[in-house]
Amino acid sequence: MKKKENTQCKASVGGQALMEGILMRGPESYAISLRLPDGSIDTTSKKVRPIKDKYKILGWPLIRGIVSFVESMTLGYKSLMESVEKTSLDDVVGQAAESRFEKWLNKHFGEKLTAIIGTIAAILGFGLAFLLFFWLPTFIFNLLKDNFGVDIIWKTVLEGGIRIVLFVSYMALTSLMKDIKRMYKYHGAEHKTIFCFENGLELTVENVRKQKRFHPRCGTSFLFVMIILSIVVSSVILFIFPGLAGKNLLWVAVKLMIVPVIMSLGFEFIRYAGRHDNIFVKILSAPGLWMQRITTKEPSDDIIEVAIQALKAVVLPAEKANEEAAEENIIEETPVSVQEPVTDSIDTL
């Protein structure tokens, strides 16, 4: 394996698996590489400037987590819709006979149809997430308390445990779907390619294939950390305000309100985990890394090729810019560091 001179570039990129493709995001740009129906790889890249660079206060600890999460989710959702449209939707619509209803939709909404469908799906998704991870755990605990006499002191622990069971069950069931299983292979390729880059190895299929597919900065780990933190924060709140335990609607509202706090703390941990490898990180990262056995699959070489294209589209321009800056400073006899810049990107899937 051929190594680059700069051998450690930890936490400089993040990514997300798409339908037949991968999104990679670096400090200054992002790239989307898709395997098109004709077998070719389509890669597009754009410059991006995080909003925290415009408003410094948004880059402060405990604030940057929420900002980064919203930015990552927005970009990820937009990229996912683009991947669906490019790799499957046009092909399906072109081959299938349109019903009257489909013709009416295309006539009145046209190109906006995909965005409308995506918005409706997002609303339904958030509604389902609220029912599964906020309302249902409280409902189940109340059933246990009323029918089996479970002490209220176990409320936060049991609700957190129920969330974990629901989350693992949901991910395991979705992994049985053909399209999702293939997306999980792209997820594995994304992790392997990032590891290859972080280890300073040349981005080849052979080098990427040998890497691990479990990454501590993965969005799966982030969600597990959030669940663990929610148990801790909720327990502290109930200890201070024990009366909340018996007020179901108010308790659900409180859990919703503390989500930004939990999200911020979780982001800071994932950011820390991307730069350190100690026993504290290993213990808190372990559940998320185990969960990645479900949410990532071993990719084939053609999938790895897509991941490499996406990562190269992000890191090569940055490397070239650093080299040019270094050359200019050498001419001026002013020494500078050409280390890779670090971003706060979280892998979202």
Burial of 8 (0-12, 13-18, 19+ CB in 10 A): exposed
Q: What is the pLDDT of residue 119?
A: 74
Q: What region does 62 belong to: left with phi over 0, alpha with psi -120 to 50, or beta?
A: left
CA angle 49, 55, 59 (to 5 degrees): 85
Give the containing element (helix H, strand E) for 250: helix 248-257
Kindly report, residue by residue over 131-159, the tens digit of the pLDDT.
888 889 889 998 998 888 888 888 888 99
pLDDT band at 335 (very low <50, low <70, confident <90, very high): very low
Q: What is the pLDDT of residue 321?
A: 53
Q: What is the DSSP string of 273-284?
A: HTT--SHHHHHH
For range 32-37, the mean pLDDT: 94
- Higher-pLDDT residue of 115 and 179 is 179
Task: Provide, rounded to the nearest whole percent, the portion of the chain with pLDDT above 70.
Answer: 79
Query: Is residue 2 helix, strand or coil?
Result: coil
CA angle 182, 168, 258 (to 5 degrees): 115
Q: What is the pLDDT of residue 184?
A: 95
List, as own/partner pairs, every contact residues 263-266 make where C-beta atoms lie below 8 angstroms and the sequence separation is at least 24, other chains included.
263/65, 263/66, 263/69, 263/226, 264/61, 264/62, 264/63, 264/64, 264/65, 264/66, 265/62, 265/65, 265/229, 265/233, 266/65, 266/222, 266/225, 266/226, 266/229
Max Cα–Cα distance, the chain, nearest Å: 78
CA distance 212 to 334: 39
Minimal CA–CA distance to 69: which of 6, 16, 31? Answer: 16
Q: What is the pLDDT of residue 13?
A: 81
Kindly report, residue by residue over 249-288, the tens digit of the pLDDT.
888 888 888 888 888 888 888 888 777 778 888 887 888 8
CA distance 266 to 222: 6
Q: What is the pLDDT of residue 270?
A: 80
CA distance 286 to 220: 11
CA distance 211 to 304: 11
Check: CB of residue 31 under 8 Å from CB of residue 296: no
Would the pLDDT of 342 be above 70? no
Instruction: Please provide residue 6's backbone torsions phi and psi, each rounded to the nearest 5 degrees.
Output: -90, 100
CA distance 66 to 42: 31
Kindly report, residue by residue over 62-98, the tens digit of the pLDDT.
788 888 888 888 888 888 888 888 887 444 444 444 5
> Does the CA dihedral 113-116-118-120 come out positive or negative?
negative
Instruction: Please provide residue 50's backbone torsions phi and psi, each rounded to the nearest 5 degrees.
Output: -55, 140
